């Protein structure tokens, strides 16, 4: 193989590995769920 085609093959493999890693991380890492409770004082509401 010529030098240019070898470079393209290696570049394609590197891009495929990075894309695969990003796809795996997107599926493997789940965002944490945290509930938030806020108490509103009664003074804020008109009667």
Q: What pLDDT, in 10s, does the model give residues 8-41? A: 999 999 999 999 999 999 888 887 889 999 988 8
Give the tokens for residue 30.
């789940």
Q: From CA 27, how far away is CA 19, in angstroms rounded?
A: 13
pTM for the whole structure: 0.58
| pLDDT score of 47 | 67
| pLDDT score of 37 | 92
DSSP letter string, the chain: --HHHHHHHHHHHHHHHHHHHHHHHHHH----------PPPGGGS--
- Higher-confidence residue of 42 and 37: namely 37
């Amino acid at each position: 193989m010529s030098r240019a085609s070898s470079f393209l093959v290696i570049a394609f493999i590197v891009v495929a590995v990075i894309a695969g890693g990003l796809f795996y991380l997107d599926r493997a890492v789940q965002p944490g769920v945290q509930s938030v409770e806020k108490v509103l004082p009664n003074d804020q509401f008109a009667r």
